[in-house]
Structure 1
């Protein structure tokens, strides 16, 4: 298996059979009677999973340098909610501070 993954990483070619995925329906209830009673599970080839994890771990190391700082998703440590924060001293920041103060006074 290790040599197959190394071969892919060196030449970039993936055998079609490695990318084959089987979708299996697993029942959610003891007596399923309609399609909503099943949960689809995808079964991927082990080599495909290993290659995908290696590619993702490599991408994780470089994404922070590629993606602009204003982007809030896809980079560990950033959150989409961090994208917008008011400038200190702005009317919006003062409003948020006043609102927070009032909320704390009520509790």
Structure 2
């Protein structure tokens, strides 16, 4: 009886510990986002995307640009394991058109 308990107690404790480990999902780097203003707003930028980063959040916002814009971003995460680079160019053409 004692031998069974000595065997079962560590088995139960290790199985409980393995169930309580909370990890991140594998594709977290896909939700990093771009731009200082959108990231400063916590990613809540879809409705007011009115600069060159609108191409990432809401491409319809590119139509209302008044002047050419360039965005460059470099982000290192997870102890330099993931490097995230972003570059965008938007050039207004006419009143309601933008190339970007």
TM tier, smaller: under 0.3
Taking structure 2 as the reference length, the TM-score comes to 0.18
Structure 1 or 2: larger helix share? 1
Taking structure 1 as the reference length, the TM-score comes to 0.17
Structure 1 or 2: larger strand share? 2
